[in-house]
Amino acid sequence: MPELPEVETIVQGLKEKIAGQRISRVTLNLPKIVRSDLKEFLSSLPGQVIERVWRRGKFIIIDLSRDHSLIVHLGMTGQLTYVSSAAPLLKYTHLTLQLENNDLHQLRYRDLRQFGYIRLVDSGQLKGVESLAKLGPEPFELTLEQFIHLIGAHRGRIKPLLLDQGVIAGIGNIYADEILYRAQIHPRRPADSLTPLHLKKIYHAMREVLVAAIEKRGSSVQDYVTSDGEAGEYQRLHQVYHRQGQPCFRCGALIAREKLGGRSTHYCPRCQRYIVYTMKGARI
């Protein structure tokens, strides 16, 4: 699933290309991806100007000129690309927005597994949309003190906590693994056993990993592509994710993989030792 760095990369790419352009035509090949009134969706979009493209968590928000906004969630395999109108229409392209720049370009939504969706809402109602309203703060908006208070108040294991979109928005399986490796914290470590020093390490690792991943235009480990249809590059820098059985770059131990909270979890058993803790770091 595209996570914060992938979605941010798509948003930054689209900002440069589609802001200010008018939608001239809508072609919908799979109605079920639209999670709002279908008739209104098809009739309202033509003629509207794209005013702003932004991100909230893993959601792409496209603000339109008539006080409408499109909410796009890419699901597991969704792609949102800006392409030439003459480009071949790839299989699983479910929505095409023709842009009124001499009809030279289109915005296309493609999704193999069809878990993603698009929704048209009134812009003034965005804050009340449940999927957005329940999101926690953005990682880059948190101060260190806020992060320590936020995470330290929970009793669950640290990795599932980082994945909880209601706690922090945008972090998924790839980057939770990479963040905890950089911070040298075992993914099963209870959050309420972490000292302020541990939380400081996770906080800085979170910011460093996400910034580096955005700079490399995200991780292409499955179907993710940028708004240009190109692969990201951060997967080449993964330290643990999908590296099970390979040596740790730091210590040489073999990277382990196990299930945690129903998710595949990758870590170094030596750099991220698992010790049973009581509250705030005391060992049992």
Active site residues: 2-3, 58, 263
Answer yes or no: do 108 and 200 share one domain: no
Answer yes or no: do 30 and 106 share one domain: yes
pTM score of the predicted model: 0.95
Answer yes or no: do 126 and 87 share one domain: yes
Write down which residue in 102, 133, 164 finishes a domain. Answer: 133
Tokens linked to 28:
């919908």
Answer yes or no: do 127 and 213 share one domain: no
- Report the number of distinct structural domains present in the chain: 2
Write the CATH number for 35. Answer: 3.20.190.10
Answer yes or no: do 18 and 121 share one domain: yes
d(CA 162, CA 166): 9
d(CA 191, CA 176): 14
d(CA 138, CA 197): 21
Bridge partners for 214 per DSSP: none
d(CA 240, CA 256): 8
**Is the dihedral angle over the CA atoms 180, 275, 280, 192 positive or is it negative?**
positive
- b/e string for 166-204 if b means 16 or more Cβ within 10 A? ebbbbbbbbbbbbbbbbbbbbbbbbbbbbeeebbebbbe
Residue 155 assigned ligand-binding role: no
Domain range for 241: 139-281
Answer yes or no: do 127 and 150 share one domain: no
- Which contiguous run of DSSP H or E holds residue 212? helix 196-215
Q: Report how far Cα 27 is from the mean position of its chain's Cα atoms.
A: 26
Write down which residue in 117, 133, 149 finishes a domain. Answer: 133
List per-residue pLDDT tens for the chain, 284 residues long.
999 999 999 999 999 899 999 999 999 999 999 999 999 999 999 999 999 999 999 999 999 999 999 999 999 999 999 999 999 999 999 999 999 977 899 999 999 999 999 999 999 999 999 999 999 999 999 999 999 999 999 989 999 999 999 999 999 999 999 999 999 999 999 999 999 999 999 999 999 999 999 999 999 998 999 999 999 999 999 999 999 999 999 999 999 999 999 999 999 999 999 876 555 555 54
d(CA 227, CA 81): 4
